[in-house]
Structure 1
Amino acid sequence: MSRSPLVTLLVANALSVCGTTMTFLAVPWFVLQTTGSPARTGLVVGVEVAGAVVAALAGGPVIDRLGRRRSSVVSDLAAAVVVASIPLLFATAGLPFGLLLALAGLLGLTRTPGETARWSMMASLITLSGANATRVLSAYDGVSRGAKMVGAPLAGVLIAVLGPQRVLYVDAATFLVSALLIRLTVPDVGAGEAVEGSYFGRLRRGFAYLRGDRLMVAILLMVMVTNLLDMAAAAVLIPVYANDVLHSSVALGLISGVFGGGAMLGTVLYAWVGARLPRRITYTVAFLVVGGPRFLVMAAEPGLTAILVVMGVGGVLCGAINPILNMVEFARVPDDVRPMVIGVTTAAVLVGGPVGAVLAGVAVEAVGLGPVLVAVGVTYLVVTVCPAVFPVWREMDAAPVSAHESEPGPVPAAAPTP
């Protein structure tokens, strides 16, 4: 099989991720500018992430029934419609806050099915084409990181030049192009295969696959907490910091963009030397550097340059995290249950996001930005030291079962992406 569908899928996913990144910055900035309320900003993003959790949890069997290619296309088309509706309604009929919350929830519902479908197609195309899994999976993560690196500063600049409303139209266009590329050039992997079992039966199968694995439970718990803290940062803390301390939407884009650029570089470096590195130690060191220091440095208000340096270094180390976890998932999860397993794990690691966004907004209004940054930084350090302390994490270095030899059953599943 030709490897060109892999390349096209990488490009389409990059466009979709770029649009998601821009939306994730433009919507909070839009809410912050139009309402002036960090609490409302956190609530909007929390509702969006809650929608993503519901879609991730329930979407696996739907993707199985609908097909992976069609699910990706429908997800991107729906995202384009929802994103474009926000500025269109604001400029015409008006956009009450309740309606904005509803649109945020719909946007969240469009997010994870497309990501799950594209990841499932990527894993299947790797097997069919015979491509090197480590390199392709690192490329997949690297391209996604690169899209975030481009999308974040681009959103910051466009917000400053065009305003957040017009930026959302640009976001919608990226989703449309992604849908078009997938529909016209990527084969419908798995199309025509029999889908056994009821909707809830297949969903239960995803849960059953993950049950009973201590390492998997440890990973899920850790990433649930770190995602909660990261969502607090992305939805409230960094936008408020850029607005109140740095007084610049461009700074908002630079902070996210430099982190994304460092992560892309880190992914490339890991693809080069990662096979020779112990997974647990690499994972632990990366998370320790990526996590708490960002927030503690921001709390000290050292200026934009110092913050960008910390973000860049943390991003480079972060580049190793996703490839490690992606290789575990690819090696251990059989293709026929992959959408369900990915959906369940994605929902699990995202479930804390809405809580983080809402709590961060309320906490900032109650006690101020500085104390919240310190509290988040200390919590992050405590959580990310766990892989160095608890013996169960040593299983991370165990040799995985290859994907083509795997059979459905209660064996270790893929780790979620942080």
Structure 2
Amino acid sequence: MPPETSTPRFPRSSPYWPMISHPLLRRVLPGLAVSALGDGMALIAVTWLALQLAPSDQRGTWTAIAVAAYTLPSAAGTMIFGRHLSGRSGAQLATWDAILRAAALAAIPAAHLVGALSIGLYVALLAAASLLRSWGSAGRFTLVSELLPQRHHLPANAVLGIIGDTATIIGPPLAGILISWAGPVWVIAIDAATFAVLALTYRLAVPAVERQDPTETAASRTAGFGIIRHNRPLLGLLALTFGFLLLFGSFYVAMPIIVTEDLHATATTLGLYYTAFGAGSLLGGLATRYLHRWPLWPTTIGIVVGFGVAMLPLGLDTPVGLSLPAFALAGLIWAPYLSTSMTLFQRSTTTTKLPQVLAANSAVTVLAVPLGTMLGGPLTTGIGARQTLLLCAGATIALGVVAAGLALLRREPSATDNDPPLAGSATDRLPHPDVPTDSGAVRR
């Protein structure tokens, strides 16, 4: 059989091969993996240190504030730095985010060493670390769009998700061990070091490119929001994602309280829940490649409904032996969501405008989890931790059902289950505002 017609063998036959074999992207992946591991450990450390620093009668409230502070200010960063960061390359955006997070997080153990670390200073430093978070996320996915053709975006996004899912499996239990040995402040120090490694990786692996489109030099701080506002499918996707993440936010307050007060367990047990979720997410991420033939809008809405169903056992008085596998199932269902949504965004605009669009998307969705977490504080205090999780699981199911109903009402009678084929590259067209860009491959 001639070489050009022969079927490539594994791993070259894998849909992930273009991402992991790309001469530039493969040099970035180790830094992304190290940083993801650090953030996986921070999932436990950020909340555990807040519990230690907060007054005993305000632990739920301060835990919610700390988690919110580590993400919420990135929305303000999108607006504040929008004019200055428009036209920058994906690698530049990701590098500056990594540098800021490394510096701000390193200041936490430094303050601890001199005896100056209070709950107020801790929250302020977490907030500073998150200022460029939306731009860093936009930079990663923009880099994928800059370096790979459109047909590889879905599996490339999935690779980024798989890295995060693997870190969620390893990071939390490792953090539990390190916290019991040295304390949560030193886990945060490790997280700071991993972001320093990531920043160095971007600087060395990706050549500096000033990708400035002359027509975009005077771009508005809110240009990305304008693009989304005039694209009905993307506006609907943004609303769905915001509600989905908002309802999940209470988990970060309710679950640590369930572990410490209901189960009378340690950070290691909390880490097991994160690990179970990460294991499910890893399997879901690996399975994402098989979604390329599925219509992504119904799939995305189905993820929301299925996730709510899987979260129900955590809100019920179920034993750990049942709630752990249920949370793993929730992770498996959750995993493809970021990949599908990022693929829709990547196909919606040019690579020049993509960072603005993704940063605007991130600025809105990044508010969802911390707002949900902040709402989870008083909810947990008022009705209890388990009841809060049960309420949010039911509301998530309702959100998906409503979204499905609206999608059916908006659908044209002549529309088919699959989106129309896409011709050309992502850099030379915009989708019709009333037609969801739904075929292809994917990633939150």
Both proteins in one fold, TM over 0.5:
yes
**2: distance between equivalents of 1:212 and 1:70?**
28
The answer on whether the counterparts of 2:343 and 2:443 sit within 8 Å (CA) in structure 1 is: no
1:116 is aligned to 138
Q: Secondary structure at the match of 1:385?
A: helix
Q: Which amino acid aligns with 1:387?
A: A
Find out whether 1:286 has 2:308 as its counterpart.
no
Please point out which of 239, 247, 252 is paired with 1:229: 247
CA distance 1:379–1:43, change in 2 (3 Å): same
**1: distance between equivalents of 2:183 and 2:119?**
19
Deviations 1:19-46 (CA, angstroms, capped at 9, x unpaired) = 2332232111111123231111111222
1:316 is aligned to 332
Q: Which amino acid aligns with 2:29?
A: L
2:176 is aligned to 156
Shift of 1:408: 6.0
2:53 is aligned to 34
Find out whether 1:363 has 2:382 as its counterpart.
no
Find out whether 1:18 has 2:21 as its counterpart.
no
2:270 is aligned to 252
Deviations 1:70-123 (CA, angstroms, capped at 9, x unpaired) = 332222122112112112212313223322221121022142222221221121
Please point out which of 316, 324, 329 is paired with 1:300: 316
Please point out which of 138, 142, 160 is paired with 1:140: 160
Deviations 1:355-408 (CA, angstroms, capped at 9, x unpaired) = 212221122223321322222122111112233322267589423645445336
Please point out which of 218, 231, 234 is paired with 1:216: 234
**2: distance between equivalents of 1:39 and 1:166?**
23
Find out whether 1:84 has 2:140 as its counterpart.
no
The answer on whether the counterparts of 2:154 and 2:443 sit within 8 Å (CA) in structure 1 is: no
Choose 117-126 or 325-334, whichever is displaced more: 325-334
CA distance 1:60–1:255, change in 2 (3 Å): farther
The answer on whether the counterparts of 1:341 and 1:413 sit within 8 Å (CA) in structure 2 is: no
Find out whether 1:340 has 2:359 as its counterpart.
no
CA distance 1:62–1:232, change in 2 (3 Å): farther
Q: Secondary structure at the match of 1:347?
A: helix
Shift of 1:243: 1.9
Residue correspondence of structure 1 range 125-136 to structure 2 within 5 A: 125-127=147-149, 132-136=152-156
**1: distance between equivalents of 2:348 and 2:216?**
22
* RMSD (CA atoms): 2.8
**2: distance between equivalents of 1:100 and 1:346?**
24
Q: Which amino acid aligns with 2:419?
A: A
The answer on whether the counterparts of 2:155 and 2:443 sit within 8 Å (CA) in structure 1 is: no
**2: distance between equivalents of 1:414 and 1:79?**
34
The answer on whether the counterparts of 1:330 and 1:403 sit within 8 Å (CA) in structure 2 is: no
Shift of 1:174: 1.0
Choose 190-199 or 382-391, whichever is displaced more: 190-199
> TM-score scaled by structure 2?
0.84
Shift of 1:183: 0.8
CA distance 1:414–1:329, change in 2 (3 Å): farther
Please point out which of 268, 272, 277 is paired with 2:294: 277
CA distance 1:257–1:59, change in 2 (3 Å): farther
Deviations 1:155-204 (CA, angstroms, capped at 9, x unpaired) = 2332233220111111111111111111111233x5254443455x3434
**1: distance between equivalents of 2:291 and 2:201?**
31
Q: Secondary structure at the match of 1:351?
A: helix
The answer on whether the counterparts of 2:99 and 2:199 sit within 8 Å (CA) in structure 1 is: yes
Shift of 1:414: 8.3
Deviations 1:225-270 (CA, angstroms, capped at 9, x unpaired) = 1211222212x12222222233121121121122122112112112
CA distance 1:91–1:414, change in 2 (3 Å): farther
Q: Size of the alignment, in residue pairs?
A: 411
2:195 is aligned to 175
Q: Which amino acid aligns with 1:289?
A: G
**2: distance between equivalents of 1:327 and 1:192?**
22
CA distance 1:325–1:287, change in 2 (3 Å): same
Q: Which amino acid aligns with 1:320?
A: P
Larger radius of gyration, structure 1 or 2?
Answer: 2
CA distance 1:274–1:67, change in 2 (3 Å): closer
**2: distance between equivalents of 1:121 and 1:69?**
6
CA distance 1:261–1:310, change in 2 (3 Å): same
Unaligned runs of 5+ in 1: none
Choose 215-224 or 171-180, whichever is displaced more: 215-224
The answer on whether the counterparts of 1:282 and 1:320 sit within 8 Å (CA) in structure 2 is: no
Please point out which of 406, 413, 419 is paired with 1:398: 419
The answer on whether the counterparts of 1:52 and 1:347 sit within 8 Å (CA) in structure 2 is: yes
Unaligned runs of 5+ in 2: 1-17
**2: distance between equivalents of 1:152 and 1:138?**
21
**1: distance between equivalents of 2:280 and 2:369?**
23
**2: distance between equivalents of 1:214 and 1:302?**
41
Q: Which amino acid aligns with 1:121?
A: L
The answer on whether the counterparts of 1:291 and 1:380 sit within 8 Å (CA) in structure 2 is: yes
**2: distance between equivalents of 1:117 and 1:60?**
13
Please point out which of 92, 97, 119 is paired with 2:119: 97
1:187 is aligned to 207
**2: distance between equivalents of 1:397 and 1:54?**
37
Higher helix share: 1
